[in-house]
Amino acid sequence: GQQLNQSPQSMFIQEGEDVSMNCTSSSIFNTWLWYKQEPGEGPVLLIALYKAGELTSNGRLTAQFGITRKDSFLNISASIPSDVGIYFCAGLVNSGYALNFGKGTSLLVTP
Amino acid sequence: DGGITQSPKYLFRKEGQNVTLSCEQNLNHDAMYWYRQDPGQGLRLIYYSQIVNDFQKGDIAEGYSVSREKKESFPLTVTSAQKNPTAFYLCASGRQGVNGELFFGEGSRLTVL
């Protein structure tokens, strides 16, 4: 599958800080998604993006589908301890194919 | 409640043994997937199935086998040919036409002794 480069690899922040992470690829995707995985669990979908330039929010989370269709970013505002986990970006070329996942950004939040 | 169930959650096996991981969903999803997760490696696709009695290899299918005899079930067998089987295995399902929106099980952690 196509490679997704996700950064940063890990983040260690204080409660209340904003967080930004991104995902880039050399390939074009028609769908970008962001998932969160908590320890010992499976990932859970946070946000799905279907159009280039699309900006979508889910509570304190905001994600954007890059205009080139080769990147996406996720912002978390005013972080709280329960934001801890691994955040994965994922890209999909077209329906009928499987998702390609980035390697994840591990987020730690201290009270 | 609707969901996707993986079992067992933890599994130990000796080298040279085959082991089968179960994945069942009652979400009426057509598509099902198996991913392998290693620390720092993200999720890598092993096999996926878009419809009953059909499945495709993913990026790391060697040493694994699957079947899709029923819509609800997509078991994964880790064979003795898999050289490094110790990992966290995740099963997922999704609706056709709802691109990329997958529902994951809680995972199965396999340790080879």
Residues B4-60 have pLDDT tens digits of 999 999 999 998 899 999 999 999 999 999 999 998 888 999 999 989 999 999 999
Nearest residue on chain A to B40, judged by CA atoms?
Answer: A103
Q: Which of A78, A5, A90 is nearest to B101 (CA)?
A: A90
pLDDT, mean of residues A13-36: 95
Q: Do B50 and A48 touch (CB under 8 A)?
A: no
**pLDDT beyond 80 at B1:** no
Mean residue pLDDT across chain A: 93
Q: How far apart are CA A62 and CA A50, in angstroms?
A: 14
CB contact (8 A) between residue A95 and residue B99: yes
Residue A86: closest C-alpha in chain B: B42
User: Least CB-CB distance to A42: which of B96, B97, B105?
Assistant: B105
Specify the pLDDT at position B99. Answer: 72
User: What is the distance of C-alpha A74 from the center of its chain?
Assistant: 5
Distance CA A30, CA A26 (A): 13
Nearest to B42 among A41, A96, A101 (CB): A101
Distance from CA of B106 to the nearest CA of A (A): 5
Please determine, for residue A94, whether its predicted confidence score (pLDDT) is greater than 80.
no
Kindly tell me the sign of the dihedral angle through the C-alpha atoms of A7, A94, B94, B89: negative
User: Residues 6 or more apart from A99 whose CB is under 8 A from it?
Assistant: A33, A90, A91, A92, B33, B45, B100, B102
Calculate how close chain A gets to B54, using CA atoms only, in Å.
Answer: 13
Between β-strands A105-110 and A10-14, what pairing exists: parallel, antiparallel or unpaired?
Answer: parallel
Which chain A residue has its CA at the smallest distance from B99's CA?
Answer: A95
Peptide bond into B39 cis (omega under 30): no
